[in-house]
Amino acid sequence: MNRTTTSPFDIKSATIQGLSLILRSIKLDVIEGDLAARVANAGDLFTNAPVLINVSALTAEGTADKLELTRLVNLLRRHTMRAVGIVGATGLLLKQAQALGLVEEPDVQPRVRNKAPQAAPEPEPAPVAEAAPQAPGTTPPVVTDLFADAPASASPSTPTPAEAAVPQAQAQEPPRDAATGRPAPTMVIDRPLRSGQRVYARGGDLVVLGVVSHGAEVIADGNIHVYGPLRGRAIAGATGDVEARIFAVAMEPELISIAGTYRTTDKPLADTVRGKPAQARLDGDKMLIEPLKN
Amino acid sequence: MTKIVVVTSGKGGVGKTTTSASFASGLAMRGHKTVVIDFDVGLRNLDLIMGVERRVVYDLINVVQKEANLSQALIRDKQLENLYILAASQTRDKESLTQEGVQRVLEELKAMDFAYIVCDSPAGIETGAMMAMHFADEALVVTNPEVSSVRDSDRILGMLSSKTQRAIDAREPIREHLLITRYNPHRVQGGQMLSLEDINDILRIPLIGVIPESEVVLEASNQGLPAIRIKGADVSQAYDDVIGRFLGETIPMRFTEAPKKSFFRRIFSSAN
């Protein structure tokens, strides 16, 4: 196919799945003990996982500079994880992180709006490793081959080498453009999405002005709006935003998923919403599909 | 300006080669210098349907691989002086179809003042199909009135709008035409086939014609004659309408309704 291409390589935007290690303590002995137990129980989840080390809480407490970062990186490696980035580091710790080859990632609130801010647990501080939301059959497409079939104009920003090179931990994907720090723009697709095409609006909302055919897939970290029949798969809140919603002028999807909670339409949707203007949203663990009223 | 038209579908057996043969013949019958190229390397059929299978010496792959020049490989139709056929290879591997090679062949054909280059795509979404559509200006998307064919056409439409040279260069998109073949109004009424409305609701591209299901198509290919050349048949009239619409004429759709009443019923009801 690309035999006319003279360049020996292509650079494309990519996203990899990773973990975020949110530190609440600098006591590496305690952390290691707890981590070993979690890894033992987690199957393959941690194997070769890229990790973002989030030290925001430590920086706020003023204990960040005492963190033995090199030891932590080695500790992770012993448990088959690879530190690739750091979040919330300043001053000395940031310099140390950069010397270790870690990429500085912006510290913004993850797009999980309904999660109450967690108070630091009193007795035994422990690290928390959060995996990206997993939904059977929905997560793999989010992490692989993202722009492979998208129309040429689908991506609002041209993938840059920097973007391609920086691994992103999906669990902590910010609703912002990592490069500029501005809120991520809404991606607007003004042509029909055909079977086999897939579009991912990273960090923001997705608007499709046309039909999403059977076998097409629309994914957004935020909301999805389809001004036409939605017949393919729609995955909103792909990085865990349980407040994300899916709107369609004619709701007739193969599958809809919000923050990993999904439903297929093997069992048909109710007559009040099937093929009609409707929205899907989460109420706790339950997916509600409701008609849009005037 | 030479126009490159790909005849494509995704699904096999829907009537791409029948359409390519009739479409190219119809353009030539109206005086346009036309060449039709078989991209189905390894499963060549077009030469059979065009009745030239005993005249194939060199083929598309020979030209792509520079083993023959274009004028040696082009077969001129015996009846239509404006019509040329470039056959596919039956023995070569489809991987020998390179993008540069195909582009070179198309450029040479343009230099020979062809008005239309019709590319008969193989089924599927592999190399041959991608090469057939890559340099197209317009596309005839051949679809049968059944769900899997419509779904595959949808997939092909996605590729036409994202994988072709026009899409890559962000030029004006390929003009897409929907051609429904093997349409049987009786079976649509009976609910065994999708209706024109059902198909339009899914694909949403302009309809250029409806070719009725007919025995004539089979007879024509057995004779090595494009269906459009069979005199007085529904199928040939329907293909002729397609040519007219393609060239910008306004022609109402035919053969889309089941005959309402039989002759005797009509007499009977008028007597009441």
Average pLDDT over residues A125-129: 37
Written as one letter, the residue type at B165 is: Q
Tell me, yes or no, whether A167 lies in a domain.
Answer: no
Given this model, what pLDDT does residue A8 score? 83
Contact A215 B154 (CB under 8 A): yes
Q: Does the residue A251 lie in any domain?
A: yes
**Residue A280 domain-assigned (yes or no):** yes
Residue A4 burial by Cβ neighbours in a 10 Å radius (0-12, 13-18, 19+): exposed
pLDDT computed for residue B261 by the predictor = 55
Residue A80, in any domain of the structure: yes
User: Measured in whole angstroms, how far is the alpha carbon of residue B226 from the centre of its chain?
Assistant: 11
Query: In the numeric block, which tokens belong to residue A97?
Result: 């992180």
Distance between CA atoms of residues A53 and A73, nearest Å: 9
Q: What is the per-residue pLDDT for A35? A: 85
> Average pLDDT in the A106-131 region?
41
Put simply, the answer to whether B168 touches A152 (Cβ < 8 Å) is: yes
**ipTM at complex level:** 0.77
**What is the pLDDT at residue A38?**
80
Amino acid identity for residue A56 in this structure = S
What is the model's pLDDT at position A7? Answer: 79
Inter-chain CB proximity B151 and A196 less than 8 Å:
no
B162 with A193: Cβ contact below 8 A: no
CATH of the domain at A81: 3.30.70.260
The count of structural domains within chain A is 2
Residue B265 has φ and ψ, to the nearest 5°, of -60, -40
Contacts of A190 in chain B (CB under 8 A): none
pLDDT at A170: 39
CATH of the domain at A244: 2.160.20.70
Instruction: Please tell me the predicted confidence (pLDDT) of residue A49.
Output: 82
In this structure, the number of other CB atoms found within 10 A of the CB of residue A263 comes to 16
Q: Would you say how long chain B is, in residues?
A: 272
pLDDT at B271: 46
Enter the DSSP assignment of A183.
B
Beta strands in chain B (DSSP E): 3-8, 34-38, 75-76, 83-86, 116-120, 138-143, 175-183, 207-212
Has residue A172 got a pLDDT over 50? no
- What is the distance in angstroms between the Cα of A103 and the nearest Cα belonging to chain B? 33
A25 and B CB contact within 8 Å: no
Between the alpha carbon of residue B185 and those of residues B143, B178, B181, B190, the distances in Å are 15, 17, 12, 9
Domain boundary among A65, A88, A105: A105
- Among A31-40, A190-199, B110-119, which stretch is predicted with the lowest mean pLDDT? A31-40
Closest CA to B119 of B242, B249, B228, B19: B19
Q: Which of A82, A105, A128 is the last residue of a domain?
A: A105
Assigned domain for A45 exists: yes
Q: Distance (Å) from the C-alpha of residue A200 to the closest C-alpha of chain B?
A: 16
So what's the pLDDT on residue A254?
93
Domain-embedded: residue A182: no
Please judge whether A4 and B161 are an interchain contact, meaning their C-beta atoms are less than 8 angstroms apart. Answer: no
Cβ atoms within 10 A of the Cβ of B192, count? 11
User: Of A89, A105, A121, which residue sits at a domain end?
Assistant: A105
Are residues A19 and A169 in contact, defined by beta-carbon separation less than 8 angstroms?
yes
Residues of B in contact with A213 (CB under 8 A): 154, 158, 202
φ, ψ at A199 (rounded to 5°): -130, 135
Q: What is the pLDDT of residue B166?
A: 95
Asked if A239 and A222 touch (Cβ cutoff 8 Å), the reply is no
User: Would you state the pLDDT for residue B258?
Assistant: 81
CB pair distance less than 8 Å for B157 and A194: yes
Residue of B nearest to A191 (CA): B161
Tokens of B255: 């053969």
Residue A82: give the domain boundaries: 17-105
Given an 8 Å threshold on Cβ–Cβ distance, is A194 in contact with B155?
Answer: yes
Would you state the pLDDT for residue A166?
34
What are the φ and ψ backbone dihedral angles of A104, each rounded to 5 degrees?
-80, 125
Residue A130 lies in a domain: no
Determine the Cα angle at A264 with ends A262 and A270, to 5°.
105
Q: Using beta carbons and an 8 Å cutoff, which residues of B are at the interface with A? A: 98-100, 103, 127, 130, 151-152, 154-155, 157-159, 161-162, 167-168, 170, 201-202, 204
What is the model's pTM?
A: 0.66
What's the whole-number average pLDDT of chain A?
A: 75
For the segment A1-25, the average pLDDT, to the nearest whole number, is 72
Q: Confirm whether A2 is domain-assigned.
A: no
What percentage of chain A has pLDDT greater than the value 90?
A: 35
